Copies of this chain bind each other. A is one copy, B any other.
């Protein structure tokens, strides 16, 4: 909280200095901030102010400016960069790690990104271009290709000298060991080097049994490995087991957050990059298709109601409780769906135990259906003075909540078996199904017992 208060204070000062145009003071204040804090501050400024502050910083302190927009995320960062010339961007891009540069350049307009890659120093742009060749959301795309490695024939003393000669390589805590042909053969911690004599060969103290990620491994799987084995970093190897990069735990945290957002979003039918401050026209365009699908499925439910129109025509009171049956099925289905989708995402649910999950959810759905169906039946009976109406409503709710729980388990498991993200399309399936099953059960039972409902 204290940190947040400090940032709010700085934000106020930044706004004031921008208003009075005190650029020297502003620059001075900005340069004292951590890139992560600066990113938050820039994020809260109005669009025009953000551009002014970023320009000022980019001209005077390119490294800090670039570290800041890396923290802002590639999409927003690229938007800030896009107003500058290709020459300036190429120069600025060299201030940061090539994986961060690649992510930013990937979000620039196409002709601009091509021009920037042309202008960057050949070695640098080669590295960035290589990264952009890996598929999105793979280890190759998010790795940092500049990884510090030691040769297996070195002694501990030589290794320490090597570390001393490479002062500018970032964050060395795991030292990866490679053979003459760059194949990854082991790992040793920096601390371990301090505990043995300088003549010890690295081979003798390294751990040969280490966990690595292939360049084409899905980033979600990479995150799972790092989290499961409590790693600070994971080495990335190509198909021949040659060391090509490293993914550190801070990048893994970003992946975990993004994947969680993706799951939350998909359950609600929102695109992953549709955030609170995505322009309205873009959000509109992104949400329309899913709502369109929902409109089609809503009309499907409507057809079921239309089948029973004569019943409603005879007894308008029947229509009153339609929303209760459909709504409760939808809610129960969403609960089950959420537990199952998250269970799959966290790796708790596999094929071998899915039967057990199904039995459990069916039992829970039935249990809740019976309890709430009885309550609803009593309310309807007392309110409208007709016991049959209560029984029809209660029975329909029990049927629908059982259907909801079963479908809420089977639909995500089925999608996963078909290699579709279970979160992606489940909720629209479930609500459509519970609407249709609910209306069918409720209006169907009402039609059967129409004689006993007469006089409502």
Contact = CB atoms under 8 A, between A and B. Distances in A.
Interface string A81-114: 0000000000000000000000000000000000
Contacts of A138: none
A275 B353 CA distance: 13
B328 A367 contact: no
Interface stretch (A23-31, A56-64, A128-136, A342-350): A342-350
Interface stretch (A117-125, A176-184, A237-245, A258-266): A258-266
Interface residues of A, number: 115
B173 A284 contact: no
Given A276-B343, A284-B367, A322-B319, A372 B260 contact: no
Interface hub of A217, A254, A342 (most chain B Cβ within 10 A): A342
A270 B195 CA distance: 50
A451 interface: no
B261 A346 contact: yes
Interface in A290-316: 290-292, 294-295, 298-299, 301-302, 305-306, 309-310, 312-313, 316
A194 interface: yes
A309 B319 CA distance: 8
Interface in A11-69: 11, 34, 36-37, 40, 43-44
A350 B43 CA distance: 11
Nearest to A379: B299
**A contact face: mostly helix, strand, loop, or mixed:** helix
Contacts of A316: 309-310, 312-313, 316, 319
Given A302-B321, A342-B265, A363 B280 contact: yes
Contacts of A420: none
Interface in A164-188: 164, 167, 172-173
Contacts of A227: 250, 253-254, 257
A291 B338 contact: no
A419 interface: no
Given A249-B232, A323-B326, A335 B280 contact: no
A9 interface: no
Contact of A265 (B37, B163, B320, B338): B338
A139 to B, nearest CB: 12
Interface string A203-233: 0000000010000010001000111111010
A268 B267 contact: yes
A195 B190 CA distance: 13
Contacts of A444: none
A213 to B, nearest CB: 10
Contact of A43 (B328, B335, B348, B372): B348
A261 B342 contact: yes
A291 B368 contact: yes
Nearest to A401: B291
Interface of A: 1, 3, 8, 11, 34, 36-37, 40, 43-44, 71, 160, 163-164, 167, 172-173, 190-191, 194-195, 211, 217, 221, 225-230, 232, 249-250, 252-254, 256-257, 260-261, 263-265, 267-270, 274-277, 279-280, 283-284, 287-288, 290-292, 294-295, 298-299, 301-302, 305-306, 309-310, 312-313, 316-317, 319-324, 326-328, 331-332, 334-335, 337-340, 342-343, 346-350, 352-353, 356-357, 360, 363-364, 367-368, 371-372, 375-376, 379, 431, 435, 439
10 contacts: A163-B195, A230-B250, A232-B232, A264-B342, A268-B335, A275-B343, A276-B339, A284-B364, A288-B372, A313-B316
